Chains A and B, each alone.
Chain A
Amino acid sequence: MTTAAPNQNYEFGFHDIMEPVYSIPPGLSERVVEEISHIKCEPGWMLERRLRALQAFEVRQLPTWGADLSQIEFQKIRYYLKPSERQEASWDKVPAKIKQTFDKLGIPQAEQKFLSGVGAQYDSEAVYHNLKEEWKKLGVIFLDMDSALREYPDIVKQYFGTIIPLNDNKFAALNTAVWSGGSFVYVPAGVQVNVPLQAYFRLNAKNMGQFERTLIIAEEGSFVNYVEGCTAPVYAVDSLHCAVVEIIAKPYSRVRYTTMQNWSNDVYNLVTKRAVAEEGAVVEWVDGNFGSKVTMKYPSVFMKGRGSRADVLSLAFAGPGQHQDAGAKAVHLAADTSSNIVSKSISVGGGRTSYRGLLHIAAQAKNAKSKVKCDALLMDSRSRSDTYPTNDVRTSDAQVEHEATVSKIGDEQLFYLRSRGLTENEAASMIVSGFIEPIAKELPLEYAVELNKLINLEMEGSVG
């Protein structure tokens, strides 16, 4: 059990994290929300926010578009798990397929146990410790969200919920009510953080949650690259993952947020991610979706400042029984803004990928430019690919281009590679790697390598 560092400005003056006498049962109610806030010793304003969000959640309907969410049983889900409870999973219960994937991807034993919820903590302390010192010198704050709320309540209060209000959509409301864990990143003006901040470093069972809330603030002229997730499958006992990510990019800053998601195949992954870019700022979303039963995720950038820019790279892979409903939203609210969206998706074995995008150019966004390119690869006749873009342009001087193509692996391409000695699987894997290359090359090296291995693995036996 950990002890929180005492904080002079802390409203309630608690010095310890209190454990509840009993565990929080499944189901959602005001009582549950109050308990969560109580366990975390949160300031009153946060509890009030949570309760208002719970009301909003209960009033709102499920979306009538997108993937099928009718099977989610909200009252059967546990909305908060004590850290000790999370370690109850036993290695024997982890599905064989997940263990096989770990082996094939070459994940070390300790990591394997952690990823499957068996180990208490993946100990990357040594690496993390050195980096922590460097960040402290620069004035960079990188903490889990719970600690940030305790140690920097003023900054959190200033920005929390300003990008994604608690009633933005049903799942943002749910997250605001029961959020736990997630990252808080604050980069002071002019600071360039050259080593990617990886959520993985400070992850432990306590922080890897279903309802993560992340807040990133990049002050003027700063740069930060945040990376989360991993291509190795994450065995989750929970069936609903509902995260919220808010990014504030102040003038002339640059923020890149990379996610690689590979939740196990019974998880509903419903995420609201939004960034606001002020004058001259650049926001880049690199979004990889490989796992989960259903993903609905549309990283967005609201270009509020003149000359700001949005860049979204989205990669989706849907295997049997999966539906990846992903995309991007670029909203131009100021002059001279530009956006570029590249989406690549692969459907195999009956999987379904849908690109859902919004490009909105408001009346005051003079001289805006936008380019959207979506490519989809359909590997067999059982799979499905859809594209639902919306381009709403309210100015008359915008330059907007949109294109989408759907294809299967060309027979000639396969034949050529096979005539050079590759097996059909190797040939198909190579072609798919080439297909995703524009996105893979934007990832940190370890991720790109794992990504290729993962694709090869998923593709085995799927050609034909």
Chain B
Amino acid sequence: MKTNYKTIECKGKYEMVFKSRSVELVVVKLAAEECNLTLAVKEGAGVHVVVLGTTLKYSVFGTIQDKARLTLSCLSTTTRSQVSAVSLQLVGEQASVYVQTVARSHKMSQLDARCTLEHVSPHTVGRITARRVVEDDSKSSFSGMLRIMPGAHGTDTYLSDKALTLGEKSTAKSDPGLEILADDVKASHGATIGRLSEEELFYLRSRGLDYTEASSLLVEAFLKPALIGVPLELQQQYLNPNF
């Protein structure tokens, strides 16, 4: 069953306004060296925006109003370099945002990804799930910030950043940050950097899969939690190494 969605090409600056109570799934293909995407999600809307691309630089800026929900999936593969900045503000009460960042770095690329969530009103929910696979000699850096302003009580926010260093010379950097100025909140973050589990690899190989197949499978499992809601054909395209 194919999900219905709109595909848009972003060739620089692009602004999207999601009307009150609308429900949409939009795929944005970044087609220029530098792209800026602005999103405005009005009251009660439920929106999923999937951003795809290998551009050098992109930024996403968004505001989410009362009771609206935004899921933002950013899928990127880099062979040269990429600098990305995502900045989202939960302006309305009971707004929620789920950011999923998936990044695969190859060759000698350098990735610098930033993601900031700002909770301004009460009872908002924020989630940032970042999964990065760092291969060959590439470098991958992720910098997150969960900021809870005074008055944003009842906030529930969590950042999870995991990096998988597969290549001999791959390196990763992770700077998850928290700035909390309201007290009745649930805020936490977790970050891990490591390799594939030897045990899991061994298990799959003992079942007849060769090393490449086994590690592909484990990498796919690693990235899945950050691909929730993304249309299947896009997921296949992304997970297939020839993307």
Contacts and interface: CB of A to CB of B under 8 A. Distances in A.
A binds B: yes
Interface stretch (A76-84, A131-139, A193-201, A404-412): A404-412
Interface stretch (B26-34, B46-54, B175-183): B175-183
Contacts of B177: 386-389
B241 interface: no
A412 to B, nearest CB: 13
A400 interface: yes
Contacts of B190: 401-404
A379 B181 CA distance: 11
A381 B171 contact: no
B173 interface: yes
B176 A404 contact: yes
Interface string A390-427: 11111111111111111110000000000000000000
B186 interface: yes
Listed from nearest, the 8 A-B pairs whose CB atoms lie closest are A405-B188, A396-B165, A400-B193, A387-B178, A378-B183, A402-B191, A403-B190, A391-B174
Given A387-B178, A389-B176, A393-B171, A400 B191 contact: yes
Given A378-B183, A381-B153, A402-B192, A396 B167 contact: yes
B171 A387 contact: no
Nearest to A386: B179
Contacts of A391: 172-175, 191, 193
B15 interface: no
Nearest to B179: A386
B193 A398 contact: yes
A62 B168 CA distance: 39
A258 interface: no
A266 interface: no
B148 to A, nearest CB: 9
A400 B166 CA distance: 14
Contact of A404 (B150, B153, B188): B188
Contacts of B192: 399-402
Interface residues of A, number: 32
Interface in B91-131: none
A383 B179 CA distance: 11
B195 A397 contact: yes
28 contacts: A378-B185, A381-B150, A381-B182, A384-B180, A386-B177, A387-B189, A388-B175, A389-B176, A391-B173, A391-B193, A392-B173, A393-B193, A395-B171, A396-B134, A396-B168, A396-B171, A397-B165, A397-B195, A398-B165, A398-B193, A399-B192, A399-B195, A403-B189, A404-B189, A405-B187, A406-B178, A406-B185, A407-B186
Contacts of B167: 396
A151 interface: no
Interface string B221-238: 000000000000000000
Nearest to B151: A381
A300 interface: no
A228 interface: no
Contact of A386 (B171, B180, B184): B180
Interface in B115-165: 134, 150, 153, 165
A403 B162 CA distance: 12
B170 interface: yes
Given A379-B183, A396-B165, A401-B191, A385 B171 contact: no
Given A381-B150, A396-B169, A404-B188, A389 B175 contact: yes
- Which of A378, A391, A395, A407 is packed against the most chain B CB atoms within 10 Å? A391
A408 B148 CA distance: 14
B175 A390 contact: yes
B178 A378 contact: no
Contact of B188 (A386, A397, A398, A403): A403
A59 to B, nearest CB: 29
A380 interface: yes
A395 B193 CA distance: 10
Contacts of B182: 381
A24 B189 CA distance: 51
B194 A398 contact: yes
B170 A396 contact: yes
A403 to B, nearest CB: 4
B183 A383 contact: yes
A247 B210 CA distance: 50
Interface in A336-377: 363, 376
Contacts of A388: 175, 177
Given A393-B173, A400-B192, A401-B192, A385 B186 contact: no
- Which of A392, A399, A404, A406 is packed against the most chain B CB atoms within 10 Å? A406
Nearest to A384: B181
- Which of B167, B169, B192 is packed against the most chain A CB atoms within 10 Å? B192
Contacts of A386: 177-180
A404 B159 CA distance: 10
A396 B176 contact: no
A392 B172 CA distance: 6
A459 B17 CA distance: 48
Contact of B183 (A396, A401, A408): A408
